[in-house]
Chain A
Amino acid sequence: MKTYQVIGACMVLLLFAWVGVLASESFGAEPDLYPSSVPSFRRDVMPVFFRAGCNSGTCHGSARGKDGYMLSLFGYDPVGDYRRTVEEIPNRRINTAVPTESLLLLKATASVPHTGGKLFDSQSELYRTLLAWIESGAPDDLTVAGDGTNSQVSIPEVTSIQFSQDSIVFETAKKTQALRLTASYSDGTTRDVTMLGRYFSNNSSVAEIDANGQVTSHGSGDTNVFGRFNRFTVGAEVITLPPSEGFVWPEPPSSNYIDRLVYERLEKLRLAPSELCDDETFLRRVSLDLIGRPPTESEYHQYMDDPAADKRTKAVDRLLAMDDFSDYQAALWAEQLRVIGGNYSTGATVIKAADRFANWIRDQFRKGQPINEFVAEMTAASGPNIANGPVNLYTMLVHKPQVDPKMLAADYSQVFLGVQIQCAECHNHPFDRWNMDDYYGFVSFFTGVRRKPGVEPREKRIYWDIKSSPAVSPVDGKPRAAKLLGAPSAIDGQGDPRRELARWISDPNNDLFAKNIANRLWAHLLGRGVVEPIDDVRVSNPPTNARLLNGLSDRLRELRYDLRSFVREICNSRIYQLSSQPNLSNASDSRQFSHAKLRRLRADVLLDSIVTVTGTGRNLPQWPEGTRAVMYYPRVSGDTEGPHAGDPFFETFGRSSRSTVCACETKKDPTLSQTMHLVVGDTIRDRLSVAGLTKSLIDQQQPAEQILERLFVRVLSRRPTHQELNGCLQMLEGSSGNLEIYEDILWGMLNSTEFIFNH
């Protein structure tokens, strides 16, 4: 063959090869957004409304819609949305005669004035999907039976969504990673919905995610990005690492599973944990956390003089064995359950009943009743509320004159599961898995709870009304039988459904409950929950260390919800005992427990601490002398429903007013009133004599150094430094008999941040 023939043949072969590659590329290409030939309203059109923002809360998804056109928020009502879009005003929003004249398209492309602006243009996939649907007659997703009647929807539903990866680690800033979002349907198929989802990041200074699912890193830290589609939200963890140079994992020792789980996370994030706190700090911290007051002088000396290697463990055991520990825990539960006594309130919170309830709670904790049984007993209780303690869950949790099943359901869920389901009263929860059916099904556990007069005056008897009907969903006006959260169907059986609720809440398989209790106890001891806020668990608020939370909740169940055992292990962990002093690598960390958190004392603990260290009591209104502040709850004359702090000190220092079950009722923010009260108020001013202790020490002619040391140990639970000692001695000018100077020094100590904070 001639050369040119050879070359020609090669070119023809290359041409065929190239065409073949092109063809195979197109066959293997990404699937269309709508593979079926006729776009479906639910499957294709409603996602366009979601993606373009049409049915968001600021636009047509608001309660009354906009300009007369309402869509259900994020599409919780497909039946109504179809009716409003197609049928409500014939031929205007949808024009099947001239599809491009449909207002839906003209407005979305801003071809006519649209307050919502231009959402997409006529070349986009979103436009083409809507146009194709209108061109096919704008049908609803119904099958037509032989007799011409329309019947049930035939479109597979979305069952879940997933990201292409659930964790991204960036080495540096300004890196990108594309995420794909996939939806799974009830017929087993999956579909790429990346271009139909909506995305957001929990912390844009660590990483951002754009409208196409592309993640970009910024500053170092860890956060989560989320994708939403249909009624689901899914998250992916994003870590932007700090620079690796100069970072060496210090291989700190582990005391137990908690340390291992926290270290694992810290090492991944290149955060070195701080050093262990010293003994003095440890004793003060653990005393405040477990019994709500600083150590006494004798407790201090006993501990500091103990040479044993395990003295920290022994200190924990000693504190856990005290009634003060269980009483403090009981008091925290009483606060969470809004215990207030009011003899003339319109609710059922007569003082005797409140006392009965608080005493019952205290007894349960004293005898070590497992927490899940404690909650179950309250859940299923019935009877008169002065005679029967636990039934007061139904009189204290909601202080209204009548039982309000919706409030009861929402509060019950928030307290015992940490989940706020009230968002789902009017529409599906936008950021979590709960829909309106879940909400109304859960409310139905409480729709039959009634109150009637009991035996004693002002006593109320709680019972279940068997003639009551379940809660009705406003979407279709039909009742929803009692259904546990996350269960696929309603519970069986008749009679009081609270028995089933009690069984479920205490079941060891109940992850939500176990995690909630573990998280709350962790938050009490470490100053921050693994999920924070502790009563706002949702998909878009994930734990900062998921394996830690799983580990804690599993362990809690292994220990059969025994409070003391669980708390013991936390207090014995190295993580609990870290110093609050940060190091270079963990200085900006506030979520991963790399160092102890500085926490201002609760108002009641602060008052008890002042009383303890000064030896001078503080009377609380309507309570006998000597009552500890943590055990106090308001006893009022009138209505118990409004906020009640009970005492001006508590109000100033942000003690929970018990007006809702929110954990945020306890406020620890600094205010000017607090500072002023400590500086010039009577709480400290009247206690500077330390019940005559200082005077008696002076009378005994003790040397100044010794008196000072006693005062420091007593108030701050530590010995004074040399500098402090010298400074104080200078003030005393050699004369050890000056009572006023000592009072000034004491005033200084009580006003110090060191005293007011747990460090």
Chain B
Amino acid sequence: MRLTLWLNWQAAFCLVLVVWVLIHDASEASFEDPLNYDTHIAGILKTKCGVCHGDGKQEAGLNLASYAGVVQGGGSGKIVVAGQPTQSKLIEVVTSEDTSIRMPPDGDPLTKEQIGVIEAWISKGLRENAGSSAAQMRTLGFVPQADSNPLDPTNPGLPGPIPQNYPPTQTIPTARPLPIVALAASPRALLIAASRYGAIDLLDPVSCESVGTLGFPEGEPLNLSFSRSGRVLMAAGGKPVRSGSATLYDVVSGKRLASLGDESDAILSADLSPDERSVAIGCTSRLVKIHSTETGELITTIDKHTDWVTAVAFSPDGRTLATADRVGNVYLWDSRSGGALLSLSAHKKSVRSVHWRSDSQVLVSCGEDGLVVWWDAKEGWPSIQRPEAHAQGVLDAKFGNGGELATCGRDQLVKYWSADGTELKRFGLETASDQIPGVKRLPLRVAISSDGGSLIAGDTNGQLHRWSLK
């Protein structure tokens, strides 16, 4: 009789346990992964602690909304000690009987179960996520490949890397097409990249037909840049005044290779170094940040600019970084150390872009003062200046592989210049049937295809225009 009663009680207990497990919140302890912050701890801390110790408010300087914040601690020092829950202040406060110390101060205390999970996590070494071992170095998993082959305009080594069978991407419908705020030409393939809202279009430069679309869920891709070999495409941008980051894609497969940078505004200007090891980012914070593409770490910061950094470009030989800002300053830096090399003064208003000639000898800059300058990058003097290149402002200037230049401006013209600064051709945008009266259509960005045969321009209506150069 007693045995039966005991068995009954045990069965009942098991039943309760099973039911309890089944109805238990799935976000908490699923004991299949090893205990780690992302899966097991983040949810608890966010729910019970996030109001006072999160991104919005950090009482006592403590932010528990991220792994880094938990590990770093707050105003009174570290709150977790790896392997030693009894020494960890976090455990002390959540288990305290003293109501003046106990956390959370209002509402129900953490359950015994939750406290147990946290204790176990601490004793097992503070894993961050399921894949990490305790205190392992972060890696983005990107493997840079330098391309030191010289670019030969007559034999660009076509077809080069072009998209093959991209996975389908969801396009975000917009009221009107996004203006083409970024345009880039692959140096080794007949391929153009153009920005769309939340996506990047890869196009054939002759037909302007899309051959693949990459998703950019981070927001608007304000900058597009192919690597020197053409195998990697960097897109940088974001959501204005909220977030900004840079993403590297494999051009052939369309895979996302790495994502780096964590700005609080959309990235205004960015470039990938020729050896693919670093990305330079210029932002409204007036800083130029150089990140490692392998670890995502910040290698160096340049804080010389006094206004928004509107243009950055690595020289093709990888040695120099050019940066420019909204008041017209242009500087050259050593690309590895961030040390200052030269200051190039000519522009009186915002610089819209800087671009290197393929031999790294000449840098072109253009700006809202209507000026285009070909700089001797070694000496720092302007070799050629064209003050009235486009009335009311030059919006973009890009070299082709053979040293010729394409520019576009607020006079709604696109111009093609020889290597010695002679204007060879000029093109206007043909009238669009859907042109809204009162809205000025401007060519925003230009690019010259790798074979020097096509001049492409993207305008504020989101349209591409193509002119043959041969």
Contacts and interface: CB of A to CB of B under 8 A. Distances in A.
B240 A97 contact: no
A92 interface: yes
A142 interface: yes
A97 B439 contact: no
Contacts of B138: none
A97 B177 contact: yes
A383 to B, nearest CB: 46
Interface in B146-194: 174-179, 181
B431 A148 contact: yes
Nearest to B440: A87
B125 interface: no
Interface in A92-129: 92, 96-99, 101, 103, 106-107, 112-113
B181 A91 contact: yes
A107 B307 CA distance: 20
B176 A90 contact: no
B220 A144 contact: no
A673 interface: no
29 contacts: A41-B438, A68-B307, A68-B326, A87-B410, A87-B440, A90-B179, A90-B181, A90-B460, A96-B176, A96-B179, A97-B175, A97-B179, A98-B175, A98-B197, A103-B240, A103-B241, A106-B241, A107-B241, A113-B241, A135-B175, A137-B436, A139-B437, A139-B439, A142-B437, A143-B437, A144-B435, A144-B437, A144-B438, A150-B437
Interface residues of B, number: 28
Interface string A150-169: 10000000000000000000
A81 interface: no
B254 to A, nearest CB: 23
Identify the interface centre among A87, A91, A141, A148: most chain B CB within 10 Å of its CB: A91
Contacts of A68: 307-308, 326
Contacts of B181: 90-91
A138 interface: yes
A140 interface: yes
Interface in A610-645: none
B34 interface: no
Q: Which 5 A-B pairs have the closest CB atoms?
A: A139-B438, A112-B241, A97-B178, A97-B174, A144-B437
B17 to A, nearest CB: 47
A101 B439 contact: no
Contacts of A137: 176, 436, 439
A417 B460 CA distance: 51
B241 A98 contact: no
Interface of B: 174-179, 181, 197, 220, 239-242, 307-308, 326, 410, 431, 435-440, 442, 444, 460, 462
Contact of A101 (B240, B308, B435, B442): B240
Contacts of B241: 103, 106-107, 112-113
A96 B175 contact: yes
A150 B438 contact: yes
A477 to B, nearest CB: 14
Given A41-B438, A139-B436, 5 more contacts: A87-B410, A96-B176, A137-B439, A144-B435, A148-B431
Contacts of A138: 439
Nearest to A91: B179
Contacts, number: 70
Contact of A99 (B175, B410, B440): B175
Contact of B239 (A41, A96, A101): A101
Contacts of A98: 174-175, 197
A706 B176 CA distance: 101
Nearest to B459: A90
- Chain A's interface: helix, strand, loop or mixed, by majority? loop
Interface residues of A, number: 28
A429 to B, nearest CB: 29
Contacts of B462: 97
A141 B197 contact: no
B240 A92 contact: yes
B438 A142 contact: yes
Contacts of B435: 144, 148
Identify the interface centre among B307, B431, B436, B460: most chain A CB within 10 Å of its CB: B436
B435 to A, nearest CB: 7
A142 B410 CA distance: 17
Contacts of B308: 68
A87 B440 CA distance: 8
Identify the interface centre among B175, B242, B307, B326: most chain A CB within 10 Å of its CB: B175
B239 A90 contact: no
Contacts of A142: 437-438
Contacts of B307: 68
Nearest to A107: B241
B335 to A, nearest CB: 27
A97 B176 contact: yes
A85 to B, nearest CB: 13
B101 to A, nearest CB: 35
Contact of A90 (B175, B197, B442): B442
Contact of B444 (A90, A107, A139): A90
B414 to A, nearest CB: 16
Nearest to A40: B438
A475 B59 CA distance: 52
A730 B410 CA distance: 95
Contacts of B442: 87, 90
B242 A112 contact: yes
A135 B174 CA distance: 11
B223 to A, nearest CB: 13
Contacts of A135: 175
A181 B283 CA distance: 45
Nearest to A106: B241
B440 A150 contact: yes
A138 B178 CA distance: 14
A91 B444 CA distance: 11
A96 B442 CA distance: 14
A167 to B, nearest CB: 42
Contacts of B177: 97
A135 B436 CA distance: 12
Contacts of B176: 96-97, 137
Nearest to A103: B240
Contacts of A107: 241
Identify the interface centre among B181, B240, B326: most chain A CB within 10 Å of its CB: B240
Nearest to A147: B431
A202 B431 CA distance: 55
A260 to B, nearest CB: 58
Contacts of B239: 101
Contacts of A143: 437-438
A245 B329 CA distance: 75
B187 to A, nearest CB: 26
A482 B260 CA distance: 62
A101 B179 CA distance: 14
Contacts of A148: 431, 435
A725 to B, nearest CB: 80
Contacts of A141: 438
Contacts of B326: 68
B210 to A, nearest CB: 17
Nearest to A143: B437
Contacts of A90: 179, 181, 442, 444, 460
Contacts of B220: 91
Nearest to B266: A92
A140 B439 contact: yes
A94 to B, nearest CB: 10
Nearest to A145: B437
B197 to A, nearest CB: 5
Contacts of B175: 96-99, 135
